[in-house]
Amino acid sequence: MTTPAYFPTGDRLVNMAYADAGLIQQGDDPNGEQKADGIQRLNDIINLRQTQGLKLWLYDDYPITLVEGQSTYSIYPGGDVDMTKPMRGLEGYFLNTSGVRTPLTVLSWDDYMRLSQINQEGAISQYRVNKLYDRLEIFFWLVPDATAATGTGHILLQKQAPNFVNVTDTTIFPQEWFIALRWALADDLATGQPQAIMDRCAQRAMAYFEALENWDVEDAPTQFQPDPRSAYVGNRFK
């Protein structure tokens, strides 16, 4: 028998968090004002949790249509890539018309500032991610020439998890995250409650969050190797 995917509703998260924080009796429901406040607090928690560690289910490979002579591409609603602003860009590659991938090297701000000719056209080999408050900008270097523009640039993006609008909405966080979100919200709601309740909520919120961070990793082994650029490129921090 196939078990369907389970995504908890905001209503269940808020109800249980209020009970955990001792603000309602077990089995009772928060009133409308409490539910609205709980959903707002839950959204704040979700938005913060996305910045902590890996969130593998939010990763997606997005193609960027290259334009000859255009170096920078914006990702936001109505941008060159029309989507909700992602959290960050992680890795990249160039895909030519024959389906062959060429890995791209990511540029730091320091690397970018050291480029002597940022408008030089050719085959792209590197990219830089600029995180702005309303969009992500992807800068490709070399600037795509006529040949490069026949292919596509690909960036591995970490998407944003949608926020709750109504209590009946379901979260994109997988089912193993329910108990961590529940106690994180309870910890936030418990301010001003008796010390024993605040301590219990804080301890459980931390314990469940740490357990999930240890779980949310790739199954493939991780290997480290020296950056070959360090042999000839210095930086302003040395």
pLDDT tens digits along 150-209: 999 999 999 988 888 888 888 777 788 889 999 999 999 999 999 999 999 999 999 998
157 bridge partner residues: 60, 89
What pLDDT score does 224 carry?
61
d(CA 6, CA 179): 13
Phi, psi of 89 (to 5 degrees): -105, 135
Local structure of 234: helix, strand or coil: coil
Cβ-based neighbours of 137, under 8 Å, separated by 6 or more: 72, 73, 74, 75, 129, 130
Taking only the tens place, the pLDDT of each residue in 13-71 is 999 999 999 999 988 999 999 999 999 999 999 899 888 866 778 899 999 999 999 99
Tokens of 37: 């406040």
Structure confidence at residue 1 (pLDDT): 45
The tokens describing 204, both together, are 């459980």
CA gap 182, 184 in Å, rounded: 6
Is pTM, for the whole model, over 0.85?
no
Residue type, 187: D
